[in-house]
Structure 1
Amino acid sequence: MPAQVPALLIAIGFVVCWSSGFVGGRLASELDTPVLDLFAWRFLLAALLVALWCRLTLGTLPAIRDMRREMLVGSLTMGGYLLGVIVAIDLGVSVGITALIAALQPLLAAALAGRWLDERLGAYGWLGMVLATLGVALCVGDDMQRSLAAPGWAYLLPLLSVAAVTLGSLLAVRQPSVLPLPTALLAQLLAAGGIFLVAAWVTGGGKLTAPGFEPAVLVTMSWLVVLSSLGGYGFFVASLRRLGVTLTSALVHLTPGVTLLWAAAMFGERLGPTGLAGMALAGAGAGLAIRSARRSGPTRRGPDARRGPRTWSADETRDAAHRAPSRVSPY
């Protein structure tokens, strides 16, 4: 199989499954069970399934002390990220707009990755980022014109999510994990579950509401566990390890369009003319940024890290890319 095909499949899987998380948040907000409680149960169930995966594939369960660093990453990329997103959706921010605001994450990631990871973004990449940001601003303005729009401060919550997932991503790639993918995913799910348990306990007055067994609850939990947790974060970890922070962050710009399709089909959410123009501008900027995403500079590798596969940019030949060392350890 050509080396670029697995990378392409990872990128597609990441975009589709990552966008499903925003739709899952909207599904959860429509249930009688408090949304934070439902998400706490979601992460605990997903962690149980991944623990079984670890037991079957690795023959043992990892010790907590071996997962502490991955749990720190998960508390940011899962717990902190989703807490802001879900509360924003619950307050009335539309699903598509929440995804668009979260797609500002590449700007911060690109700004910090150059200093921390020596992952450079060229001039056209920065132009793409700026265009995408302007598109997001147009969409947010369009969304705030609605009569049922959320309070203005609610639109700041996804920005906090952006900061959390960016810091977690940089931490994950700056010091690549040598843990197998199931173990890394289990650690991150446990950390996110802990954050939502605390949030649900605080907002619920010390109580945690158990979800029922109604069809809507079962569908929502299945969506959140299979697509959003196992799919979304499994592909997220894989994308960080194979594609790097800059390209993974650029792919985030593609999730609002996919999310908007989900939301239009399932909830009837549609952007106005200004919002559609903003979406088109954001998509064009994302495409420009993805095309320009590349890696350069020295590589930081741990003494036990193995050499892993590496993708290459449009202005780099395949042979040159494979002669360069890889920054991330494979799983």
Structure 2
Amino acid sequence: MKRTTLIIAAGFVLLWNSGFIGAVYGLPYTGPFTLVFWRYLALTLVIVLYLLLRQRFRWVGWKVASPHMLIGILAHGLWLTCVLLALDNQVPAGIVALIVALQPLATGALSGLVVAGEQANSYQWLGLVLGFFGVVLTVAFRIDFGSYTSVFGYLIPLGSVIGMTAASLIQRRMEVKKESKKLPVDLALFYQSLATTLTLALPAIFIEKLSTRWEPEFIYALIWLIFAVSLGAYVLMWLLIERIEATRVASLFYLGPPVTMLMAWLAFGDMVQPMDIAGLAIVFVGVFLSQVNTKNP
């Protein structure tokens, strides 16, 4: 990579994974559903203002908007809610990042189910199995099987994996099959953000009553999550996609667990245990195998 591309890549990795840390800072002041709701309500308003100023705000019709809104519900709403529920149940941020790192592996292995000609090879399936084993190994040594809360906390990030994998496969099918009109990035993000806001409004209002302590620490965390993570990291990701192959951009998500573990150690003193390192190493082996380009069955 060129120096500029490396800087953009480093910025993306840091900003994206800082979302786990920002969420931990915000959760003491509100519930998981409400935090996602406030974040995406504000993000939607910011994008609307931007689109209005650029004279690009428009309704594209349900046929075009609906798949983008579904992607938003899965890739933003379900993904983030499950992450926050896990963090709210005292699962360390680095471990949550390790579990959700299964998503690119799962997407690569399952892409053949929705796109003909993209069948996963044996190395990719082996990589997925190894990655899953690495996560299970790490979680098994941390989970308290006698506590329902602990079991729930460590299992719920799998919902994030399911949500983001489904969204990625839908997006991939749209691009290959051209079943829906492709929208500009900013307009697509608007519909994704709007759908996430509307979906999270229900549990935020009826379950958590929108209970929020509007203290400075919460406001700072919310601002960071909106502008640095939801906008900053998203913009940097698309800048990278313009410069390098999408698969190389996707590989940057595998840096999430170690980077988040380091951030969590610096911010909260979360200690990395030996089995965390072992599980992380196994996941990286799985990642390496998943990148092997071979036609072997």
* TM-score exceeds 0.5: yes
CA distance in 1, matches of 2:47, 2:136: 38
Amino acid at match of 2:33: L
Matches within 5 A, 1:100-249: 100-117=98-115, 118-144=117-143, 150-176=149-175, 178-204=182-208, 207-209=209-211, 212=214, 214-234=215-235, 243-244=245-246
**Structure-2 separation of matches of 1:294 and 1:68:** 36
Higher helix residue share: 2
Q: Which moved more, 1:144-153 or 1:75-84?
A: 144-153
Greater length-normalized contact order (CA 8 Å, ≥ 6 residues apart): 2
Call closer, same or farther: CA 1:114–1:181 in 2, change over 3 Å: same
Contact 2:135 2:280 in 1 (8 A): yes
Percent identity, aligned pairs only, is: 34
Cα distance in 1 for residues equivalent to 2:173 and 2:12:
21
Structure 1 residue 17 corresponds to structure 2 residue 53 = no
| Residue correspondence of structure 1 range 58-137 to structure 2 within 5 A | 59-63=55-59, 65=61, 66-117=64-115, 118-137=117-136
1:284, distance to aligned residue in structure 2 (A): 3.8
Post-superposition Cα deviations, 1:149-171, rounded to whole Å, max 9, x if no partner, equal 95212222111121111111111
**Counterparts of 1:9 and 1:171 in 2: how far apart (Å)?**
30
| RMSD of Structure 2 on Structure 1 (CA) | 3.2
Worse-superposed segment, 35-44 or 94-103: 35-44
SS in 1 for 2:169: helix
Aligned equivalent of 1:44? 41
**Residues in 1 aligned to 2:182 and 2:77: alpha-carbon distance in whole angstroms:** 22
Paired residues of 2:105 and 2:127 also in contact (CA < 8 A) = no
Amino acid at match of 2:56: T
Specify the SS of the correspondent of 2:156.
helix
> Is the 1:36–1:199 contact (alpha carbons within 8 Å) kept by the matching residues of 2?
yes
- Paired residues of 1:113 and 1:120 also in contact (CA < 8 A): yes
User: How do 1:269-284 residues align onto structure 2 when only pairs under 5 Å count?
Assistant: 269-284=270-285
How far apart are residue 115 of structure 1 and its match?
Answer: 3.1
Q: Write out per-residue CA displacement over residues 67-123 of structure 1, whole angstroms, 9 at most, x where no aligned residue.
A: 332111101100111111111111121111111111121332122212323335544
Flag the 1:10–1:194 CA change in 2: closer, same or farther, 3 A: farther
**How far 1:259 sits from its partner (Å)?**
0.9
What SS is found at the alignment partner of 1:175? helix
CA distance in 2, matches of 1:261, 1:41: 27
Give the 3-state SS of the residue equivalent to 1:93 in structure 2.
coil
Number of residue-to-residue matches in the alignment = 286
**Residue 225 to residue 25, structure 1, CA distance change in 2 (3 Å):** same
Q: Structure 1: which amino acid aligns with 2:36? A: F
Measure, in 1, the Cα distance between the counterparts of 2:201 and 2:155: 23
AA at the equivalent of 2:211? T
**217-226 or 169-178, which deviates more:** 169-178
Deviation of the 1:132 alpha carbon: 2.7
1:35 and 2:37 equivalent?
no
Instruction: Note the C-alpha offset of 1:208.
Output: 2.2
8 Å CA contact retained: 2:71, 2:167: yes
Q: Which moved more, 1:231-240 or 1:88-97?
A: 231-240
* Structure 1 residues 167 and 247: alpha-carbon distance in aligned structure 2, compared to 1, 3 A threshold: farther
Q: 1:124 to 1:294 in 2, by over 3 A?
A: closer
C-alpha change, 1:22 and 1:275, in structure 2 (3 Å) is: same
Per the normalisation by structure 2, the TM-score is 0.82
User: Does 1:53 find its partner at 2:50?
Assistant: yes
Query: 2:97 and 2:205 mapped to 1: Cα distance?
Result: 27
User: Residue 192 of structure 1: CA displacement?
Assistant: 1.3
Distance 1:287 1:111, change over 3 A: closer
Change (3 A) 1:282 1:160: same
Give deviations 1:21-69, integer Å, cap 9, x for gaps: 22222112222x3332222111111111122222233x13121625332
Amino acid at match of 2:156: L
Counterpart of 1:328 in structure 2 is none
Cα distance change, pair 254–164 in 1 and its aligned pair in 2 (3 A): same
CA distance in 2, matches of 1:7, 1:294: 28
Indicate the larger mover: 85-94 or 17-26: 17-26
**Whole-Å Cα distance in 2 between the matches of residues 71 and 240 of structure 1?**
22
2:265 alignment partner in structure 1 = 264
